[in-house]
């Protein structure tokens, strides 16, 4: 009978789903006798929470920053269970897993609650964190494993109350193929990759416009706008005549574009930046949003792999690294490789399969 692995994600940004797919793929690659399934949990109330989050970070960022830093109270945890209880219950009933992994704390927390209430055989639940600094919502009683982004994040989890015996420093899960990949920048040109995440958030259009004002014919700018079709149309309308620009919508091959880039300009989302670290790609981090982006940016800048810049200064920073002081770019690339975890999903998968085997 195959080992059944259920990986739960939430409809709260593309990164959580990408991490879930990476773990499932790694589990299947390590065991031919593994049935690894990814379920993205949906709920009308979750959609409302998501829209409220987007409204807050755009219109009341200081308020959101203060709310984010508060420890999650018990009523908020009960709200999570209420919001996602039904879709998580359906997933548990449909797949009868030997182990559950969450790449978002909401469905994983709901799964913990439901599994305890059922009184069935114990099914371990693991949390694979998708940001470089852990939020308190990741910490639930009874978690079998926490997979943290770094040793610093592991220590912070323990400080916040996680069981030290359950915490592992693995890196954020990235696609298993990155374990064998390396960058191969194009010769004769300097290529900047600009990414706004799956939602295309942030001052992406301003950053692209600033980069294209640089007077370097050997500069190439590729921008990935995600599912933000209006952003893509705007960039093509204003800059489509510039042969140095390649403007794209949503793509699953972000690592392929990273492999040929010299520099990444991005919002500091956990998955995008973890993939960049795995490939040794230096980063300029644009105007971090309150909450996890600010914490991600602080960690990444501390590694030496990234610099935090505003959209108004991105061209100056890119020109310095690409054309004036390329030795600084090389130092950042080396720092990224040191901080990266290209085998993270495989390391997590090995632990997950061991948990499943112990629970059977």
Model confidence pLDDT, tens digit, residues 310-348: 888 999 999 999 999 999 999 999 999 999 999 999 999
Q: pLDDT exceeding 90 applies to what percent of the chain? A: 70
Question: What would the pLDDT profile of 104-123 be if each residue is shown by its tens digit?
Answer: 999 999 999 999 876 666 89
Question: What would the pLDDT profile of 154-190 be if each residue is shown by its tens digit?
Answer: 999 999 999 999 999 999 999 999 988 888 887 889 9
- Tell me which long-range contacts 56-63 makes (C-beta under 8 A, separation of at least 24): 57/289, 57/290, 57/291, 61/289, 61/290, 62/290
CATH superfamily, domain 3-177+342-359, is Glycogen Phosphorylase B; (3.40.50.2000)
| 182-339: CATH architecture | 3-Layer(aba) Sandwich (3.40)
Cβ atoms < 10 Å from Cβ of 44: 7
Rounded to 5°, the CA angle 82-86-87 comes to 120
Whole-Å CA distances, 276 to 24, 213, 317: 21, 25, 18
- Kindly indicate the confidence band of residue 69, based on its pLDDT and cuts at 50, 70 and 90: confident
Predicted confidence (pLDDT) at residue 201 exceeds the cutoff of 90: no
CATH 3.40.50.2000 domain range(s) in the chain: 3-177+342-359, 182-339
CA distance 282 to 268: 12
CA distance 157 to 168: 10
pTM of the model: 0.92
């Amino acid at each position: 009978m195959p080992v059944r692995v259920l990986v739960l994600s939430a409809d709260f940004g593309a990164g959580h789903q990408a991490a879930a797919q990476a773990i499932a793929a790694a589990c299947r690659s390590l065991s031919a006798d593994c049935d690894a399934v990814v379920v993205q949990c949906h709920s009308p109330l979750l959609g409302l929470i998501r829209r409220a989050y987007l409204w807050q970070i755009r219109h009341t960022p200081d308020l959101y920053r203060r709310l984010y830093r508060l420890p999650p109270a018990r009523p908020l945890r009960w709200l999570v269970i209420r919001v996602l209880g039904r879709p998580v219950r359906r997933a548990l009933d449909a797949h009868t897993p030997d182990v559950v992994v969450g790449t978002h704390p909401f469905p994983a927390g709901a799964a913990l609650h439901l599994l305890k209430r059922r009184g069935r055989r114990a099914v371990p639940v693991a949390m694979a964190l998708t940001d470089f600094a852990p939020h308190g919502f990741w910490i639930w009683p009874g978690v079998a494993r926490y997979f943290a982004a770094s040793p610093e994040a592991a220590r912070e989890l323990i400080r916040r109350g996680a069981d030290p015996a359950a915490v592992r420093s693995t890196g954020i899960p990235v696609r298993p193929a990155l374990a064998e990949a390396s960058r191969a920048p194009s010769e004769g040109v300097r290529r900047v990759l600009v990414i706004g995440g799956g939602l295309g958030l942030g001052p992406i259009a301003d950053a692209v416009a600033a980069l294209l004002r640089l007077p370097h014919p050997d500069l190439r700018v590729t921008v990935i706008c995600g599912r933000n079709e209006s952003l893509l149309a705007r960039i093509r309308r204003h800059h489509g005549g510039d042969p140095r620009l390649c403007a794209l919508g949503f793509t699953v091959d972000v690592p392929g574009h990273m492999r040929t880039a010299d520099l990444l300009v991005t919002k500091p989302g956990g998955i995008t930046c973890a993939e960049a670290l795995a490939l040794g790609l230096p980063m300029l981090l644009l105007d971090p949003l309150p909450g996890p982006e600010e914490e991600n940016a602080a960690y990444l800048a501390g590694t030496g792999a990234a610099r935090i810049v505003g959209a108004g200064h991105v061209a100056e920073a890119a020109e310095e690294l690409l054309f004036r002081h390329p030795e600084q770019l090389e130092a950042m690339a080396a720092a990224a490789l040191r901080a990266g975890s290209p085998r993270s999903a495989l390391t997590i998968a090995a632990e997950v399969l061991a948990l499943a085997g112990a629970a059977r």
